[in-house]
Amino acid sequence: MPERRKICVVVGSRANYARIKTALQAIRDHPDLELQLIVAASALLERFGRSIDVIEADGFTPDATIHLIIEGESPATMAKSTGLGLMELSTAFEALEPDVVVTVADRFETMATAVAAAYMNIPVAHTQGGEVSGSIDESVRHAVTKLSHLHFPATELSRRRVVAMGEDPSMVFNVGCPSIDLVAQADLGEPDQALREFAGRYGVGAPIDPAKPYILMMQHPVTTEFGQGLDQINRTLEAVAAIGMQALVFWPNVDAGSEHVAKGIRVFRELGRANDFHFFQNLPAELFARLMAHCRCMVGNSSSALREGAFLGTPAVTVGTRQQNRERGPNVTEADHHVGDIADAIRSQLEHGAYAPEPLFGDGTAGRQIAETLARVRPVVQKELHYGAGALRGVEEAPEPVGSEHPRW
């Protein structure tokens, strides 16, 4: 019997766990694969809800846990955390000797994972390549694509973008996003069921009334707009408060500016403004799917509103630039960082109600497809830039750079 191929997956945050969970299950259950799981970064930290507890409760046993967050939530500490992650992950890869490393999306632990594995001659498989957005995520995602050997973009347009960047088309597979698998498989239950499960078990703040409608709010810092996070969260909080509906509010992720966002929430709460707000850090992914399925509107800048939101038809208001240019279905409305704009957009979505489902990010089979592809396809370590003649011909016709007429610093 041939040895099973060792697939090492690095999970570093609550969001990325939801976006890889069904692949973890499918890898674990595949006869030709052996799952190696590294849990790292904010997924280990109390302040971010210790996703590792959920991961272990789901039946996974980490092969290694890696603390890599250098506290400070500034651009410099984000860079340093990436460096620390690189150092620690290479130690783990040396010990685990994986055949393939899987890295998820566009976070700094994603970058650290891809760089470490690439330098160590371990083929890298990457999910969510080819998407566009704002924040530093946009650059990181594409840089990780260039370090990766096997690509699992989540949409057809993303697949084309990955290939257009020069990746070998035979190594690029549009499988959809595993987060959609979770939603597709979840028993979404009755509208008030999710809240009843939730109430009293998670978070702090005002008590939840399961009989009443609610808004779901999740707003992260935008690293390329570092320093504006306090102001940005304030405006969204004000807008949601103006609606007068109870709201479930996530604490922000660990990116640069996180503490500014968190401070905005803390101050808002201490000022007694948060009478209808309930705050929490982390949830089991299925429960989160139910909350999304039944909320009246999702507000903030999480890509969940665009991904799972499209599939569930969740009315959503996306604030600011963090999701700019990302593919989305009709369920998403955009708003700038103005209280009035945000409140108007929410009201308009409340009026509209649920949207028709839109399978933009997959049909619920992503995890299984990823595992099967990992068992079947064998990338070579030495990458080569791959262009059909068409790609460069297109460029040839592009106008020459001009520069001086269009300063854009």
Residues 36-55 interacting with a copy of itself (rule: CB under 8 A): 44-47
Binding part of the chain for a copy of itself, among 17-25, 183-191, 347-355, 387-395 by CB under 8 A, reads: 387-395
- For residue 33, what are the contacts with CB-CB under 8 A and spacing of at least 6? 4, 5, 6, 7, 27, 371, 374, 375
360: nearest Cα among 320, 294, 313: 313
Q: Is 387 in the site for a copy of itself (CB under 8 A)?
A: yes
Using CB under 8 A as the binding rule, whether residue 22 contacts a copy of itself is answered as no
From the number of C-beta atoms within 10 Å of its C-beta (0-12, 13-18, 19+), residue 60 rates as buried
Instruction: Kindly state whether residue 274 participates in binding a copy of itself, applying the rule CB under 8 A.
Output: no
302 lies in the site for a copy of itself, by CB under 8 A? no
106 with 143: CB under 8 angstroms? no
Closest separation in Å from C-beta 319 to a copy of itself: 16
Residue number with CB closer to a copy of itself (165 or 366)? 165
Instruction: Report, in Å, the least distance between residue 195 CB and a copy of itself.
Output: 19
Q: Which is nearer to a copy of itself, 176 or 313 (CB)?
A: 176
Strand-pairing partners, residue 333, are: 317
Instruction: Confirm or reject binding of residue 69 to a copy of itself (CB under 8 A).
Output: yes
Using left for φ > 0, alpha for ψ between -120 and 50, and beta otherwise, residue 59 falls in left
Residues 358-377 that bind a copy of itself (CB under 8 A): 373, 376-377
- The CB-of-308 to a copy of itself minimum distance in angstroms stands at 23
Phi, psi of 151 (to 5 degrees): -125, 135
Q: Would you give the binding string for a copy of itself spanning residues 174-213, x where CB under 8 A is met?
A: ------------------------------x---------
If binding is defined by CB under 8 A, does position 78 make contact with a copy of itself?
Answer: yes
- Nearest-angstrom CA–CA distance, 24 and 51: 15
Which residue number, 59 or 399, has a Cβ lying nearer to a copy of itself?
399
249's enclosing H/E stretch is strand 246-250
| Residue 356 or 398 with smaller CB distance to a copy of itself | 398
3-state secondary structure (DSSP) of residue 37:
strand
Tokens 């507890």 sit on residue = 53
Of 96 and 339, nearer to a copy of itself (C-beta) is 96
- Minimum CB distance to a copy of itself, residue 264 (Å): 12
**Interacting positions 102-121 with a copy of itself (CB under 8 A):** 108, 111-112, 114-116, 118-121
Would you count residue 395 as binding a copy of itself (CB under 8 A)?
Answer: yes
- When asked if residue 147 is in the footprint of a copy of itself (CB under 8 A), the reply is yes
CA 150 to chain centre: 19
Identify which range of 127-135, 194-202, 212-220, 228-236 contacts a copy of itself by CB under 8 A: 127-135
Q: Which residue, among 189, 131, 117, has the nearest Cα to 162 in the 3D structure?
A: 131
- In 296-337, which ranges are E strands? 297-300, 316-319, 332-335
Tell me the DSSP string of 262-275: HHHHHHHHHTT--T
Segment 237-266, which members bind a copy of itself (CB under 8 A)?
256, 259, 262-263, 266
Least spacing, CB of residue 146 vs a copy of itself, in Å: 4
Q: What is the distance between the alpha carbons of residues 316 and 217, in angstroms, rounded to a whole number?
A: 10
Establish if 134 lies at the interface with a copy of itself (CB under 8 A). Answer: yes
Determine the length of the chain.
409
27 binds a copy of itself (CB under 8 A): no
**Can you tell me the distance from the alpha carbon of 262 to that of 5, in angstroms, rounded to the nearest whole number?**
42
Among 29, 56, 91, 275, binds a copy of itself (CB under 8 A): 91
Per CB under 8 A, does 220 bind a copy of itself? no
Torsion of CA 164, 167, 173, 176, to 10 degrees: -60
